[in-house]
Amino acid sequence: MIRVTRLNGKPFVINAEMIETIDVTPDTIITLVNGKKYLVTESFEAIIDKVVEYRKLCRVLPND
């Protein structure tokens, strides 16, 4: 899960594994594989960085 911010300033989390595309129009739009779209304040680059960090963390955590 990655933390992002809605345009109204409220934070929420998105399952990084479900992200299909990220568009900039100029707002950043995250589209999930189920078709849901979210407008967020974070930049394209910031979201990519968050996903990379999330995936690194997943590799470090043990699988129980």
Interval 13-55: pLDDT, tens: 999 999 999 999 999 999 999 999 999 999 999 999 999 999 9
The pLDDT, as a whole number, for residue 64 is 57
Tell me the mean pLDDT in the region 52-64: 80
CA distance 43 to 45: 5
CB 12 within 8 A of CB 4: yes
Q: Is the dihedral of CA 27, 17, 13, 43 positive or negative?
A: negative
Quick one: which of 50, 36, 42 has its CA closest to 7? Answer: 42
The pLDDT, as a whole number, for residue 59 is 82
58 pLDDT band (50/70/90 cuts)? confident
DSSP character string of 5-37: EBTTS-EEEE-GGGEEEEEESSSEEEEETTS-E
